Chain A
Amino acid sequence: MKKLLEINDLYINFKTLWGVAKVLNGVSFNIREGEIFGLVGETGCGKSVTALSILRLLPPNAEISGKILFKGDNLLEKSEEEMRKIRGKKISIIFQDPMTSLNPLFKVRDQMLDIIELHEGLDRRSAEEHAKKLLKAVGLSDPERILNSYPHELSGGMRQRIMIAMALSSNPYLLIADEPTTALDVTIQKQILELILDLRNQYNFSVLLITHDLGVVAEVCDRVGVMYAGNIVEIAPTEELFENPLHPYTQGLLSVVPDPRIKKPLKPLKGSVPSLLNPPSGCRFHPRCFYAKGICGNVKPELHEHSPGHFVACHLYGGEDQ
């Protein structure tokens, strides 16, 4: 499978009132064509920032360095004009709360058709046909009624389906989904995840799925990247990650997810997520790590291929030649 998106050594700092927040500390991973890549981590680990940086949607006080290669082109070097041609067309994004992504003052028809006309250059009537086809494809059986409704008249699940339809309207190569089901009820969440899976199987686009929920990752993702405090600490195919987690943080994370099938003791990690204004030196996880040794506080471990396809950034696995 060819690489569609390649992120190399992405560093992002934010200038704030209280100092410089070092939000991304050298993030590297890639997404292949047609795969669903999960980016999982807790609040503040930098997963949403990573997603926004791909589309260059970060606020002006962000300092970015590194490379984001999309089909070989570095997105960080493109002009705003060029990025606009990519957003929504080649790379689309859907967010957590469909209510705030849709304008409550306009009917769905106006919002969808505007976008389709803009991206595809179609006239109103063809755009409407296209919209109806899309709405059917995302499982909405009465497209006419949906188009005539206002967002608040529809349920959360329906709105998220509309967002997916809009995101896929110009056949993008990559769909970024930032916590797409977090705000939805569990039975609806299942339907949306299945929908994303089905659509991917049909149209073969790639998905960058951002979530904090390991269950979601296990359900839909092909490969997973685990993030902690601005770093990717482990990347592996999904089954491999769950069966053989290498990084102490991944192990910790897996051990605290409650499983509805069986009651198991939850052994939480000590401490808490560090402040990004003043992060720990070396490996950012070392103050909480049971296995930390001297080098961990001094040298930041790099991602190293431990077994085929399974990468980990940890001194336990002899990443650097010391």
Chain B
Amino acid sequence: MRKEETIKILLRNKLSIVGLSIIVALIIIAILAPILAPYPDQALGEPNLKERLQPPSRLHPFGTDHLGRDILSRVIYGTRTSLIVGFSVVFLALLIGVPLGLIAGYFGGKVDLIIMRITDIFLAFPPLLLALLIATTLGRGMINAILALAISWWPWYTRLARGMAISVKERPYVEASRAMGISDWKIMIRHVLPNSLSPLIVQATMDMGSAILEAAALSFLGLGVQPPTPDWGLMVSEGKDYFLNYWWYPVFPGLAIFITVMAFNLLGDAVREVIDPRLRRRLL
């Protein structure tokens, strides 16, 4: 009954169907990249100087870049980088942020004060600056970009988790468990955590799109993924100088970013419909 219901709710909104389908398509594309890309070697960086900056054609539906590489193949492979980055950033941020938030919210008092002050400090730090710092100390590349973004992201989840923990800990079933002598840590894991997840899941889903966008910005500035790795942000950055005469170069990867981010936002809305009990219960 619940699974049937969930599926019905996911599908009742046309936009959420769109979002869902695009995400599913992206995942398939990422997995099957070597098969789907017409020029897998070019995608991974092998130059093809004979066909530099060709406009879209039957051979190269998205055109070629300044090294003659097929842009369609690179966009397809870029899906992998994007999805990995989006997922990793959010996952890491949740891993750090949620436990801190739950502890702060549940225990309150001094613990809460200390954790929230630390959170405030990190929140005030501009993500770009952080990324620059990490790039200078640890070097550039995809993993360091993920690290930088995750470090600037976790405070938001701490705030959310703390808010939820504060409200959930007042609920009668939590008090009932205390009345049975269950320890605070067990209560936090068994009762508070599962019931605090709803807004976190919705936020995390949407954040994957934002993370991809921010990672693209980092790549654009040269701080993230390095050439010749196929990455949408990087491609936009490399392509921007060619925009006037060879429009296809930055436009197609840019479109890919746009569609992906939007799909995640739509998915986030759909997930919210499923999870939020008030939206879920709407009669239509």
Contacts and interface: CB of A to CB of B under 8 A. Distances in A.
Q: Do chains A and B touch in the complex (CB under 8 A)?
A: yes
A17 B11 CA distance: 11
Contacts of A100: none
B190 interface: no
A310 B283 CA distance: 37
Contacts of B178: none
A37 to B, nearest CB: 29
**Which of B8, B12, B283, B284 is most buried by chain A, counting CB atoms within 10 A of its CB?**
B283
A104 B9 CA distance: 33
B5 A15 contact: no
A16 B12 CA distance: 12
Interface residues of A, number: 8
Interface in B260-284: 283-284
Contacts of B9: 17
A202 B9 CA distance: 52
A177 to B, nearest CB: 25
Contacts of A121: none
B284 to A, nearest CB: 5
Nearest to B283: A16
A259 B169 CA distance: 37
A267 to B, nearest CB: 30
Contacts of A18: 5
A72 interface: no
Nearest to A62: B283
Q: Indicate the size class of the contact surface on chain B.
A: under 10
Nearest to B8: A17
Contacts of A16: 283-284
A61 B284 CA distance: 7
A311 interface: no
Interface in B94-149: none
Interface string A46-67: 0000000000000111000000
Interface string B16-54: 000000000000000000000000000000000000000
A60 B284 CA distance: 9
B203 to A, nearest CB: 25
A13 to B, nearest CB: 11
A14 interface: yes
B46 to A, nearest CB: 53
Interface string A10-43: 0000111110000000000000000000000000
Contacts of A61: 283-284
A247 to B, nearest CB: 30
A124 B131 CA distance: 61
A80 B98 CA distance: 50
A232 B284 CA distance: 27
Contacts of B8: 17
A62 to B, nearest CB: 9
Nearest to B12: A17
Nearest to B284: A61
Contacts of B12: 17
Nearest to A59: B283
The interface centre, meaning the residue of A17, A59, A61 with most chain B CB atoms within 10 A of its CB, is: A17
A188 to B, nearest CB: 26
Contacts of A15: 283-284
A54 B284 CA distance: 22
Contacts of A60: 284
B9 to A, nearest CB: 7
Contacts of A17: 5, 8-9, 12, 283-284
Interface in A81-128: none
A18 B9 CA distance: 11
A18 B284 CA distance: 10
A15 to B, nearest CB: 7
B138 to A, nearest CB: 51
A241 B152 CA distance: 70
A61 B282 CA distance: 11
Interface in B233-284: 283-284
Contacts of B284: 15-17, 59-61
A60 B283 CA distance: 10
A9 B9 CA distance: 34
Contacts of B5: 17-18
A60 B5 CA distance: 21
A18 B8 CA distance: 9
A18 B281 CA distance: 11
A135 B8 CA distance: 50
A205 B8 CA distance: 47
A22 to B, nearest CB: 14
Closest 4 CB pairs of A and B: A16-B283, A61-B284, A61-B283, A17-B8
17 contacts: A14-B283, A15-B283, A15-B284, A16-B283, A16-B284, A17-B5, A17-B8, A17-B9, A17-B12, A17-B283, A17-B284, A18-B5, A59-B283, A59-B284, A60-B284, A61-B283, A61-B284
Interface of B: 5, 8-9, 12, 283-284
Given A17-B8, A18-B5, A61-B283, 14 more contacts: A14-B283, A15-B283, A15-B284, A16-B283, A16-B284, A17-B5, A17-B9, A17-B12, A17-B283, A17-B284, A59-B283, A59-B284, A60-B284, A61-B284
